Structure 1
Amino acid sequence: MRVLQIVNLGFEAGGAEKSVRLIAEGLTARGHQVRVVATDLLAEGQQVFADELVPAVSGGPARRLLGYFWHRPAYRAVRRQLLEFRPDCVHLHTIGEFSPAVLAATSGVPRLLTVHGPEDWTKALLRWNLASASAGGRLSAADSCRYLYLRLLQRPAYLLRLRRVRRVLAPSRYFAEAVRPDVGRVPVHVLPNGIPRTAGAEPVTDAQQLLFVGRLEPVKGVHVLLAAFRELIARHPEARLAVVGDGPERARLEAAAADLVADGRVVFHGWLTGDQVAERLRAASVVVLPSLWPENFPTVALEALQIGRPMVASRVGGLPELVGPDNGALVEAGDVAALAGALGGLIGDLERLALLGKGSAARADRYGVEEFLDNLEHHYTEIVRP
């Protein structure tokens, strides 16, 4: 089968891109022909896995506003890919950087779409596309205007064509239910992501090491984690925190934690390779996911399950489908005291950490990459069937 994959970014900026890369490599290994198309947004200097890059929306505010409503260069580039590659089906992933034009460009070919996070067409999640949403409370004046634009203009432009795809896939039950009202009669299926089994579960050997892995942006809640960590070390002075990832908030977060960094309690590792992330996971006692926005099905959580690490996570999005009393704890998003308390209940207690680590390992077998690819092939076969 010839499968065209379409995603905003052509390098591994996060879980969505990692999933697309795994799909492309896995399907190719199974004998399928796969082509990945992405925009060139932020691609300079990155390890690009996409086969083709199309121009991203650019220019001043007015031009960008029009570009996100209808990005003609993306339409032309995607149409050209369809004519050259002649796919049997198109798998759409994150598509906001292509604008609704990508849906028009791929019409006439069987399509499915995987929802990886809040998009410009997801009504229930729309506010999470706005910077001030992570602060809680009311949106800023600028974001309120942008929200109206998204709600009244951008979203309808997507829905007009989105409701013509053959099915929608969501990694979590939470996101499946969130998007059902948006897609009308299009069938929505839950298909949890899978990852390769690169390592077996390992026992926790250090009871004092916390770990965050993810993009450093406000919605990820790292500032909440740092505040909670300050409360934690008052009772557990031996505790340490490793922060893995990069992003627009890194400089601000490092400045806010300068004293903790100087003391060696907090280390910002920046972006790491997959092998290096696995090494940090093995060294961790607890993996922390303090997200403020509704996470879908984060890859780092699946990796933590595989290595057998307890998790403390916000009770948002799909995280409660991955974390429970058997393998960690859930807290209200943004609640510094609750996060500090949950971490304090685990840190330093090797016996409890071992028990919860076994709980994570027991969940890991549900999310193997081969089972994921089996299910994905089934969906492809279903949508191309006459």
Structure 2
Amino acid sequence: MRDLIDAQIDAGHQVGVVCDATTGGDFEEALLSGMQDKLALGLNRIAMQRQIGPGDAIAAIRSYKAIKTMQPDVLHGHGAKGGTYARIFGSALRLSGKRVARFYSPHGGSLHYDPATMAGRVIFLIEKIMERMTDRIIFVSAFERSIYTSKIGTPHCTSALIYNGLTDGDFEPVGPDRDAADFLFIGELRTLKGPDIFIDALAQASTQSGNVMTAVIVGDGAERANLEKQTVVAGINAHVRFLKPMKAREAFRLATVVVIPSRAEALPYIVLEALAAGRPVITSRIGGIPEILGDDSSALVRPDAEDLARKMVAVLSDMAAYRAALPDRNTLRQRFSVQMMAAQLESEYFAALDP
């Protein structure tokens, strides 16, 4: 989001942000504070709970007031709730005579529901109805688009596939420190991101190889205390360091291999960031990740501890061969640049405003 905003401002646009106020910690607060002076339309933090609940009414009212004050030409909602707010409030602003383009980027959320359940059927029906208030759906991976199509149907509104992108600075190589651990997990400490899988796999890999393997876990979240206990139960707590959130490129110096053991993803930035920095990765074969690495990449594993542990042992046994099999950084730069992402998105914005 920050990279995209910088690119949009450089292109001469005025940008504003409405986002949740309850998630994140000091690190995220610092990042948002650094953006505030750039945002001509303002930064509005509003408490938004992840699940549907009674607090949504208050969040919706506050969000609408903030958006009405901003008077944007484009409302781009990310995730299920962001997409709902952008489309409903954009439609409300249209009733007052303002032309507003209403954009939606699904990021998991409602797409995680099972269409065989009552909850899934209701959610997908709402998604279908919301298409009538949508000018564009922007997918960040072909996988995400295929899930949307299989569960909700082919969009009746216009849609586009625009990959996430990185800045030129992200492609500068980052080497490991002298005392770097073997493996790094970086991300939110919650079940969806698979930190528990990472810990179990580390313990199994140490047993399989007969060598003590070390790790650094960078991040925070509701599961942190449970994960710390898990390392104790597994007998590896002396070999695992837990650190607070930090910039990805700083974290990459702390370990030799970056591991992304997520149970669900769309097109995660951390995979792109690690590869762009020249760091070897092991990652789950889920979501749009194979679109980055290639379907046959040796870096892809099932999101379970056994498969991940085997790969950890194999990677450390022949690091040179493993690195040679990963995508070339120059090829990644051509496909996943923030300049390309911003230009494609800008084109969609203008097309929606002047169909």
Fold shared, TM-score > 0.5 on shorter chain: yes
Task: State the TM-score, normalized to the length of structure 1.
Answer: 0.75
Q: Give yes or no for contact 1:211–1:287 (8 Å, CA) kept in 2.
A: yes
Which residue matches 1:315? 285
Structure 1 position 300, deviation (Å): 0.8
Q: How many residues align?
A: 330
The structure-2 alpha-carbon separation of the partners of 1:253 and 1:176, relative to structure 1 and needing over 3 Å to count, comes to same
> Which string of whole-angstrom CA distances, capped at 9 and with x for unpartnered residues, describes residues 292-329 of structure 1?
22x11111111111111222111111111123488642
- Counterpart of 1:223 (choices 184, 196, 217) is 196
- Counterpart of 2:103 (choices 112, 137, 155) is 112
- Distance in 2 of aligned mates of 1:44 and 1:285: 26
- Distance in 2 of aligned mates of 1:187 and 1:245: 37
Which residue matches 1:212? 185
- Distance in 2 of aligned mates of 1:353 and 1:359: 13
Which residue matches 2:39? none
For the pair 1:260 / 2:236, whether they are aligned, the reply is: yes
The amino acid of 1:118's aligned partner reads: G
User: Equivalent residues in 2 for 1:1-386 (5 A)?
Assistant: 20-42=1-23, 47=29, 48=32, 51-56=43-48, 65-68=53-56, 71=57, 73-96=58-81, 100=84, 102-107=86-91, 108=94, 109-115=100-106, 117-120=107-110, 122=111, 125-127=112-114, 148-149=118-119, 151-152=121-122, 154-180=123-149, 182=152, 184-198=155-169, 199-202=171-174, 209-234=182-207, 235=209, 237-258=211-232, 259-262=235-238, 265-272=239-246, 274=247, 277-293=248-264, 295-324=265-294, 328-334=298-304, 336-356=305-325, 359=328, 362-386=331-355
- Distance in 2 of aligned mates of 1:384 and 1:322: 31
- Distance in 2 of aligned mates of 1:167 and 1:325: 28
> Which string of whole-angstrom CA distances, capped at 9 and with x for unpartnered residues, describes residues 203-236 of structure 1?
6787962111111111212211211111211215
- Distance in 2 of aligned mates of 1:381 and 1:340: 48
Q: Give yes or no for contact 2:293–2:327 (8 Å, CA) kept in 1.
A: no
Structure 1 position 202, deviation (Å): 4.9
Q: Give yes or no for contact 1:308–1:358 (8 Å, CA) kept in 2.
A: no
- Distance in 1 of aligned mates of 2:70 and 2:124: 29
Task: State the TM-score, normalized to the length of structure 2.
Answer: 0.81
Q: Give yes or no for contact 2:83–2:104 (8 Å, CA) kept in 1.
A: no
- Distance in 1 of aligned mates of 2:250 and 2:210: 24
Q: Give yes or no for contact 1:208–1:347 (8 Å, CA) kept in 2.
A: no
The amino acid of 1:51's aligned partner reads: L
> Which string of whole-angstrom CA distances, capped at 9 and with x for unpartnered residues, describes residues 86-138 of structure 1?
22211111242x694553221132111122x2223x3xx2159xxxxxxxxxx
The structure-2 alpha-carbon separation of the partners of 1:210 and 1:82, relative to structure 1 and needing over 3 Å to count, comes to closer
Structure 1 position 157, deviation (Å): 3.5
Matched-pair identity in %: 24
Aligned-residue RMSD, C-alpha? 3.1
- Distance in 2 of aligned mates of 1:233 and 1:113: 44
- Distance in 1 of aligned mates of 2:64 and 2:24: 22
> Which string of whole-angstrom CA distances, capped at 9 and with x for unpartnered residues, describes residues 226-267 of structure 1?
1111121121515321111111111111111133222xx211
Q: Give yes or no for contact 1:204–1:353 (8 Å, CA) kept in 2.
A: no
The amino acid of 1:106's aligned partner reads: G
- Distance in 2 of aligned mates of 1:376 and 1:44: 30
Which residue matches 2:38? none
The amino acid of 2:354's aligned partner reads: R
3-state SS of 1:91 partner = strand
- Distance in 2 of aligned mates of 1:195 and 1:241: 26
- Distance in 1 of aligned mates of 2:303 and 2:108: 17
Deviates more, 1:205-214 or 1:168-177: 205-214
Q: Give yes or no for contact 1:306–1:360 (8 Å, CA) kept in 2.
A: yes
Deviates more, 1:162-171 or 1:248-257: 162-171
- Distance in 2 of aligned mates of 1:342 and 1:311: 11
Which residue matches 2:97? none
> Which string of whole-angstrom CA distances, capped at 9 and with x for unpartnered residues, describes residues 21-73 of structure 1?
22222211221001111233337865145701335369xx9xx63555xx2x3
